Amino acid sequence: MTDAPRYTPLAAALPASVPFVGPETQERSLGRPFTARLGANESLFGPSPQAITAMERAAREVWMYGDPENHDLRQALAAHHGVRPDNIVVGEGIDGLLGYLVRLLIGPGDPVVTSDGAYPTFNFHVTGFGGALHKVPYAGDLESPDALLARAAEVQAKLVYLANPDNPMGSHHPATTLAAMIDRLPQGTLLVLDEAYIDLAPEGTAVQIDADDPRVIRFRTFSKGYGMAGLRVGYAIAAPGLISAFNKVRNHFGMGRIAQAGALAALQDQAWLAQVRARVAEARASLAAIATANGLRPLPSATNFLTVDCGGDGAFARAVLTGLVARGIFVRMPFVAPHDRCIRVSCGDAAACAAFAAALPEALAAARG
């Protein structure tokens, strides 16, 4: 008989769970693949052909580790954003970088402020390092900068998290609102600004921030507009001191050669990104028309997904979601009331939109029946 591993008290107290149930898990449960994969906000339009070529070429060199400094990609990102390479850290998607940030700054009991119902992976990391989560409600379908700032001042938060555009509601604040929020941050509070969907947002959404401003760290990704969610490439822009601190804890070989090559080529193909933005806008309009035709209310979206108000409570929306899943359509929904009255549908190609259009009336009928 062997002794059990001696877990830390914190690890022993945590549930063994993940923030999301993956579509693959659901497919295994259903015993068949989904007809349309519209739940994870991936880009069904795929990556740049130039990125695919670069990754195919890099596959021949995959016997070598990737550059632990991500030098070429950091140089290119710095030039793209008009900052210095020492303002950039690259990591395993925004999720991975959020974990490193929390590890650097949050210990047991340290206060962190977020919105109730906002991106749960951030909360997962905070809880995993023993931080104390303080949540404020949305203002309607928007995260509330005023509420976040008030709670941050009240609890002397080390971090305050806001996504702009927002997941799961698809809403967004203009850059002027974010600039005003930054100017009102309490002393010692770092704004964690998640801009995963910024490449798909309207002009005037991205706030202009001095990269050396120590009050803010911005997170970006290649998973959404660039269509490479499976690569797990994200990056952060912040003051050099904070960026350098990531080297204390990050996985220095976390970014493989294929991922670095693909991201670099994707960044250089801005024409493809512009084409994807146009196709996303077209798909959003199609999904909105489908929702409206079925008596549902599509919410304004600045992302590559559409949040749809099903017109009832959370139980009804869950029944609609269950009906869609049963009919081969993978979608998700917000977790927290009153937003759980909605379902969330990723933008897809014409075939995926058609599959959603065919399944939705049946799912609604079953939910109402």
Q: Left, alpha or beta for 66 (phi > 0: left; psi -120 to 50: alpha)?
A: beta
Give the three-class secondary structure for 128. helix
Q: What's the pLDDT at 2?
A: 64
Q: What's the pLDDT at 17?
A: 79
pTM recorded for the entire structure: 0.95
Q: Are 56 and 262 in contact (CB under 8 A)?
A: no
Task: Return d(Cα 206, Cα 210) in angstroms, integer.
Answer: 12
CA distances from 179 to 22, 147, 231, 240, 296 (A): 36, 16, 32, 21, 34
Give the three-class secondary structure for 203. coil
User: Which tens digits make up the pLDDT trace of 241-268?
Assistant: 999 999 999 999 999 999 999 999 999 9
Q: What's the pLDDT at 212?
A: 98
Of 36, 69, 3, which Cα lies nearest the Cα of 250?
A: 69
| CATH 3.90.1150.10 holds for 21-46+271-368 | yes
Beta partners for 193? Answer: 162, 218
Per-block mean pLDDT, blocks of 10 residues, the chain (369 long): 82 84 90 94 96 97 96 98 98 97 97 97 96 98 98 98 98 98 97 98 96 98 97 98 97 96 98 97 97 98 98 97 97 96 97 97 96
Q: What's the pLDDT at 55?
A: 98
Residue by residue, what is the 3-state secondary structure of 61-76? CCCCCCCCCCHHHHHH
User: Which tens digits make up the pLDDT trace of 49-68?
Assistant: 999 999 999 999 999 999 99
Enter the CATH code of domain 49-268: 3.40.640.10
Give the list of residues 6+ apart from residue 196 with CB closer than 8 angstroms, or none: 94, 163, 167, 219, 220, 221, 223, 224
Question: Kindly report the CA angle at 354 between 300 and 47, in degrees rounded to 5?
Answer: 70
Give the three-class secondary structure for 233. coil
Task: Return d(Cα 271, Cα 255) in angstroms, integer.
Answer: 25
Q: Domain limits of the chain?
A: 21-46+271-368, 49-268
